[in-house]
A and B are shown apart, each in its own frame.
Chain A
Amino acid sequence: MRRLVVLGAGTAGTMVVNKLRPRLARDEWSVTVVEPSAEHFYQPGFLFLPFGSLRARDVVRPVRPTLTSGVELVRAAVDRVDPDARVVHLEDGRTLAYDYLVIATGTSPRPDETPGMREGLGDTVHEFFTYHGAMALAARLADWPGGRLVVHVTEMPIKCPVAPLEFAFLADAFFTDRQIRDKVEITYATPLPGAFTKPVASAALGSMLEDRGVHVEPDFVVEQVDAEAGTLSAFDGRELGFDLLVTIPVNMGADFVARSGLGDELNYVPVDKHTLLSTAYDTIFAIGDASDAPASKAGSVAHFAVESFVPNFLAHVAGRPMTHGFDGHANCFIESGHGKGLLIDFSYDVEPLPGTYPLPRVGPFRLLRESRVNHWGKLAFRHLYWHALLPGRRLPVSAHMSMVGKQRPEAPTPGTTTGPVVPAGMD
């Protein structure tokens, strides 16, 4: 009997076991998933909890029913992996031997990484990347009278890089609806040089922030938070005052990854970005947010990655080469408030571009432009997530990114110059 052990029953881990179990003969393979939590959270829903537009019960389900039959669920936390002995040590002292291991333990917010952030949480400092954090922020916003709101990203990469932008858009709409928008000053502080990571989307999203009266503070690398004084200071000496700070803390992979000697400086597992096989062990894969693949940390990326991973895994365990290269495909709805949204679709090689998706001209989704259909898409996705994505059903979109429907900007013409060219914004 060969043993597949999957660590983590989040979005990626659940899809992995649900898609692989039917493809692995029951008399040849055991499939075990290790998960400390009894609950599976629909994490994209956390964005809506602070504004009361989703309720707690919309975003949480028990783990067991999300797993297909024939998958053993071990409710435990991982202490460490011994990759040479191929054994997982659990915190409760049990051990699990494996032939192949899939690390799908994701990434989590670490307020302890920034001086003053953890101490400030709960009163004037909030986050919404955890269920409890999002609920605490909902309670705070319900009677917040207004003042200086700073929406802040501590360090890249973070899970769902569009989430803080969406929060700023939704906050603008929320305060407008409550008729206190004139009492709220919104600042968006980011370590990036602009609103987003890639230039075309950064320009589009940056002007949407401007249209909403949100001030952007770029290249802001936070040094510390002083909750009592209500200040956020940067390494370059800048200081931002706040009455309410909504921060995305540093995101890091699971601590057992570091304890096992399997991680980089953020506890992400170095992998080949096309096969997701560990660069150190050919019996270990890492998928979803847990890997160091240079793709967005997002559920859609996990979904597309699993589509390539399944045939690759089956080939690898049969001693055949892995031929289904993952292209870093990401597809993210961006809520922009007042019943509208955007969609972006991109990969390792192609940045988010304007156009339509999935079909040219007719869409129905608009890329990098606001529309109501995009917003409905985002809302409908929650049902797809529980009923199609997690169970491992095939969705009617290609796993690989396609250029169909996308408008590519003209490439700059190469030239010849003399002397060092100084990049813009270097001062």
Chain B
Amino acid sequence: MPVTTIDGREVHVDAEGFMTDPAEWDESLAAALAAAIGIELTDRHWELLRFLRADFAEQGETATTRRVQTVGGVPTKEQFALFPKKPAKKMAYVAGLPKPKGCV
């Protein structure tokens, strides 16, 4: 498993760059990850990220865009506005979670 240094700390990532250990994540890391993909985090981003983290802790899986809409209460349209073009991937990346499976 590759290791990278973000925000002065060593974190484990997969071959693509997604974090592999959710416990290594914190909010300052999220800001650094968001900046890497050109996103500045607003309050609404934080609400969404906290939902993703809490939902992952409960379910053991990254929420899909549908789940973020129906359970997290953030419409898909808004997810696209907050995390342009590829919200599912970008939300997981910034939240330090595995890519949502959605696809098997």
Which residues from chain A sit less than 8 Å from chain B, CB to CB? 155-157, 161, 192, 197-198, 219, 221, 223, 235-236, 264-266, 294-296, 328, 412, 414-427
Contacts and interface: CB of A to CB of B under 8 A. Distances in A.
A77 B93 CA distance: 43
B80 to A, nearest CB: 4
A420 B70 contact: no
Contact of B85 (A219, A223, A296): A219
Contacts of B104: 156-157, 161, 197, 294-296, 328
Nearest to A197: B103
Contacts of A198: 103
B54 interface: no
A161 B101 CA distance: 14
Given A236-B84, A414-B2, A421-B4, A265 B70 contact: yes
B48 interface: no
B52 interface: no
Interface in B7-57: 13, 15-18, 32-33, 36-37
23 contacts: A156-B103, A156-B104, A157-B104, A197-B103, A198-B103, A219-B85, A221-B76, A221-B80, A235-B80, A236-B80, A265-B67, A265-B70, A294-B101, A295-B104, A416-B3, A419-B6, A419-B36, A420-B33, A420-B36, A421-B17, A423-B16, A426-B37, A426-B90
Interface in B62-100: 64-67, 70-71, 76-77, 80, 84-86, 89-90, 93
A266 B70 CA distance: 10
Contacts of B36: 419-420, 422
A236 B102 contact: no
Interface of B: 1-6, 13, 15-18, 32-33, 36-37, 64-67, 70-71, 76-77, 80, 84-86, 89-90, 93, 101-104
B89 A423 contact: yes
A427 B85 contact: yes
Contacts of B102: 156-157
A417 B2 contact: yes
A11 B40 CA distance: 49
Contacts of A235: 76-77, 80
A418 B66 contact: no
B16 A421 contact: yes
Nearest to A113: B66
B4 A416 contact: yes
Contacts of A420: 4, 6, 17, 32-33, 36
B103 A157 contact: yes
B39 to A, nearest CB: 10
A221 B4 contact: no
State the 8 A-B residue pairs at the shortest beta-carbon distance, nearest first: A421-B17, A197-B103, A420-B36, A423-B16, A235-B80, A265-B70, A417-B4, A423-B17
Contacts of B33: 420
A64 B30 CA distance: 57
Nearest to B12: A414
A415 B14 CA distance: 10
Nearest to B93: A423
A417 B4 CA distance: 5
A418 B3 CA distance: 8
A422 B103 contact: no
A29 B90 CA distance: 52
A293 to B, nearest CB: 9
B7 to A, nearest CB: 9
A265 B103 CA distance: 16
A218 to B, nearest CB: 10
A351 to B, nearest CB: 10
A419 B4 contact: yes
A265 B66 contact: yes
Contacts of A412: 15
A156 B99 CA distance: 14
A141 to B, nearest CB: 28
A294 B64 CA distance: 13
Contacts of B65: 221
